[in-house]
Amino acid sequence: MTRVLVTGGTGSVGRFFVAFLLEHQYQVTVAGRTPPPADMFQSPVGFRPLTLSPKTPYEPIVEDMDCLVHAGFDHVPGRYRGGEGDDIRGFWDRNFLSTLLLFHSARQAGLRRGVFLSSRAVYGVQPPGTRLAEQMECHPDTHYGAVKLACERHLSKLSTTTDLTIASLRATGVYGQSAAGVKHKWSGLFDDYLSGKTIAPRCGTEIHGRDLARAVVLLLEQPADALSGECFNASDLLLDHHDLLDIVKQHRGCPHPLPARADATGYNVMSTEKLTQLGWQPGGRPLLRQSVVEMLEKDLPV
């Protein structure tokens, strides 16, 4: 059984990776600040304490593993863009330097495959309406995007010059059912709409956490020469608040008017052809509708 270490495996994104890996018969160990609750996953997982810091000894954390999925990220709670807060130097040390040290330790420990969770934020400022493709020049306009891009570039060099194959996955906004006791990302939006508050027009790209996890597993299982040092976009829907809340309206029988549609003509959608050519297929609108209904049912008072 393949042994996979997932950093940040109890986080809002990493937990999807852990659950999907377990379903596909991987042996999973989570690395993070605190161990996962006993009932968080459908099968037992291992745990190794991890603090992202240049001073952390990473060798014991990656020891006896076959693969590394790095979803851990240190930021101001609730914020990615702007997640550096007032400590820009520390933000770079904890996320850039620590990532390089972690993967170098993985190489020295004999791991052969790694996936780094990156972000569409690496693209930064692009002409309106430009379709974002992996080969285009990036212009990150946040420390978050700049850190992710710097990690990608150094990991690509490490991957192409050693026997550790690493691929970076540029993810857009991630949605899906939240962990027990945690509100999902649209909880506040749904509450505002159902209470009759005015909702501003907005649209953005989204992907379900399971679809992102499916991409992680796909990259772990590809031949090394198909992805060594490569980046892959992961996105599914350009989602308007109008369409999202229409599902809420229909399911709850809500009388409130829907927000106007946002102007999406200049939105930069990510191209995912590179990933779909490997056999990846996201869930699209059917999965969105199913997930929103599940969120609404969970939100109902007991």
Q: Are 221 and 259 part of one and the same domain?
A: no
Q: Are 224 and 199 part of one and the same domain?
A: no
Residue length, the chain? 302
User: What is the domain extent for residue 126?
Assistant: 3-175+207-234
What span, in angstroms and rounded, lies between the C-alpha atoms of 122 and 215? 19
Residues 6+ apart with CB under 8 A from 41: 15, 18, 19, 22, 28
Number of domains in the chain: 2
Q: Are 78 and 219 part of one and the same domain?
A: yes
Question: Residue 61's closest CA among 115, 23, 6, 114?
Answer: 6
Q: Are 31 and 163 part of one and the same domain?
A: yes
**Residue 275 included in any domain:** no
**Residue 251 included in any domain:** yes
What are residue 117's DSSP bridge partners? Answer: 169
Q: Are 200 and 262 part of one and the same domain?
A: yes
**Residue 217 included in any domain:** yes
Q: Are 194 and 216 part of one and the same domain?
A: no
**Residue 95 included in any domain:** yes
**Residue 146 included in any domain:** yes
- pLDDT given for residue 80 in this prediction: 61
30 phi and psi angles, rounded to 5 deg = -95, 135
In terms of DSSP bridges, do strands 237-240 and 203-208 run parallel, antiparallel, or are they unpaired? antiparallel
Residue 38 sits in a domain whose CATH number is 3.40.50.720
Per-residue pLDDT of the chain (302 residues; tens, 9 = 90+): 899 999 999 999 999 999 999 999 999 999 999 999 988 999 999 999 999 999 999 999 999 999 999 999 987 666 666 666 778 999 999 999 999 999 999 999 999 999 999 999 999 999 999 999 999 999 999 999 999 999 999 999 999 888 999 999 999 999 998 887 788 999 999 999 999 999 999 999 999 999 999 999 999 999 988 787 899 999 999 999 999 999 999 999 999 999 999 999 999 999 999 999 999 999 999 999 999 999 999 876 54
Q: Are 34 and 163 part of one and the same domain?
A: yes
Q: Are 128 and 16 part of one and the same domain?
A: yes
- pLDDT given for residue 302 in this prediction: 40
Q: Are 211 and 261 part of one and the same domain?
A: no
Residues 6+ apart with CB under 8 A from 224: 112, 113, 165
Q: Are 217 and 199 part of one and the same domain?
A: no
**What is the DSSP code (8-state) at residue 122?**
G
Question: Which tokens hold the place of 291?
Answer: 């997930």
Q: What angle do CA 263, 269, 274 make, to 5 degrees?
A: 165
Residue appearing with tokens 């959608």: 269
Query: What's the pTM value of the predicted model, to 2 decimals?
Result: 0.95
Q: Are 168 and 126 part of one and the same domain?
A: yes
Contact 143, 193 (CB under 8 A): no
Residues 6+ apart with CB under 8 A from 296: 190, 248, 251, 252
What span, in angstroms and rounded, lies between the C-alpha atoms of 10 and 186? 19
Q: Are 97 and 163 part of one and the same domain?
A: yes
Element (H, E) at 144: helix 143-161
